[in-house]
């Protein structure tokens, strides 16, 4: 499910010619909702723009290396898992509050075409690790369009505490339950690839869901090249 299909009112493939008026409406709907805290929006699954309901999002946060402390990033930087550019962007937002991308580029000396890739890569790194997220759009820059970024723990302050109540195994079960309820079926390899989990982690989550009667594992579907995990019933929201 996605905003485009919701705008269209039914499942529909995106018109790649961009002549579909629903594309503009979808874009505007997404942008106008960024400051509403209706959901989480950011580059999350496979580094692609992702919407996650706020009731499910703590499960994703529980699988990250964050604990909700403003200084969580320092341990990752010292361990070599957070780049210097990402660290500088995070610290600029920590010191000065939300900023649009043009301001942020200037603050961290990554403004200009020659360093655009470095800035974009660092922002994606921070989004993937659930440290920052876009919270609005500013009329700035040559295109009069720039995302406003803030620190995730500051924008969604209830998420870290909710995540701390979840173990990683429980978080994976929650995510997999919702995903399979959406897509109906998937192979274990597909699930591992989408979420970046190890095969044994997927298997453990599937076994938990099967024990609860939510899915059936090892199902053979006509025309499928591999056995799938099949959702058996909708999960109550």
Q: Tens of pLDDT along 2-60?
A: 777 777 777 777 766 667 777 777 778 888 889 999 999 999 999 899 999 999 999 99
**pLDDT over 60 (residue 226):** yes
> Could you give the CA distance from residue 196 to residue 193 in angstroms, rounded to a whole number?
5
pLDDT of residue 16: 65
Per-residue burial over 140-164, b = 16 or more CB atoms within 10 Å of its CB, e = otherwise: beeeeebbbbbbbbebbeebbebbe
Distinct helix (H) and strand (E) counts, the chain: 12, 8
**pLDDT over 90 (residue 1):** no
**pLDDT over 90 (residue 166):** yes
> Could you give the CA distance from residue 87 to residue 78 in angstroms, rounded to a whole number?
10
The residue assigned the tokens 């594992």 is 217
> Could you give the CA distance from residue 104 to residue 132 in angstroms, rounded to a whole number?
12
Give which of 132, 122, 133 is closest to 72, Cα–Cα: 132
pTM of the model: 0.89
**pLDDT over 60 (residue 235):** no
**pLDDT over 90 (residue 83):** yes
Domains along the sequence of the chain with CATH: 34-166 (1.10.10), 167-231 (1.10.10.10)
> Could you give the CA distance from residue 59 to residue 48 in angstroms, rounded to a whole number?
18
Alpha-carbon dihedral sign for residues 148, 150, 156, 157: negative
Q: What is the DSSP string of 129-192?
A: TTSEEEEEEES-TTTT-EEEEEEHHHHSTHHHHHHHTS-HHHHHHHHHHHHHHHHSEE-HHHHH
| Measured CA angle at 202 (ends 151, 59), to 5 deg | 25
Is residue 183 a contact partner of residue 217, using CB atoms and an 8 Å limit? no
**pLDDT over 90 (residue 164):** yes
Give the model's confidence band at 129: pLDDT under 50 very low, under 70 low, under 90 confident, else very high: very high
Q: Tens of pLDDT along 87-121?
A: 999 999 999 999 999 999 999 999 888 888 999 99
Q: What percent of the chain has pLDDT over 70?
A: 96
pLDDT of residue 74: 95
**Between residues 224 and 206, the one the model is more confident about:** 206
Give which of 149, 171, 172 is closest to 43, Cα–Cα: 149
Q: What percent of the chain has pLDDT over 90?
A: 75
DSSP 229: E
pLDDT of residue 18: 66
Give the model's confidence band at 230: pLDDT under 50 very low, under 70 low, under 90 confident, else very high: very high
**pLDDT over 80 (residue 221):** yes
Rounded average pLDDT over 160-184: 96
Q: Tens of pLDDT along 63-77?
A: 999 988 999 999 999
């Amino acid at each position: 499910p996605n905003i485009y299909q919701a705008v269209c009112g039914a499942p529909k493939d995106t018109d790649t010619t961009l002549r579909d008026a629903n594309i503009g409406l979808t874009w505007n709907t997404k942008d106008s909702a960024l400051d509403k805290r209706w959901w989480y929006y950011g580059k999350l699954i496979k580094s692609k723009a992702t919407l996650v309901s706020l009731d499910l999002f703590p499960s994703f946060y529980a699988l990250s290396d964050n604990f909700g402390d403003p200084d969580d990033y320092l341990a990752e930087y010292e361990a070599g898992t957070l780049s210097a550019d990402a660290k500088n962007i995070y610290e600029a937002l920590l010191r000065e509050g939300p900023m649009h991308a043009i301001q942020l580029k200037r603050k961290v000396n990554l403004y200009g075409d020659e360093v655009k890739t470095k800035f974009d890569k660092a922002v994606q790194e921070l989004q993937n690790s659930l440290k920052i997220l876009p919270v609005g759009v500013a009329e700035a820059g040559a295109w009069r369009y720039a995302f406003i970024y803030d620190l995730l723990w500051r924008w969604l302050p209830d998420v870290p505490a909710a995540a701390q109540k979840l173990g990683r195994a429980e978080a994976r079960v929650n995510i997999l339950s919702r995903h399979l309820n959406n897509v109906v079926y998937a192979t274990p390899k597909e699930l591992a690839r989408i979420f970046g989990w190890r095969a044994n982690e997927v298997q453990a989550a599937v076994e938990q869901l099967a024990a609860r009667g939510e899915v059936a594992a090892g199902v053979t579907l006509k025309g499928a090249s591999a056995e799938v995990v099949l959702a058996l019933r909708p999960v109550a929201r």
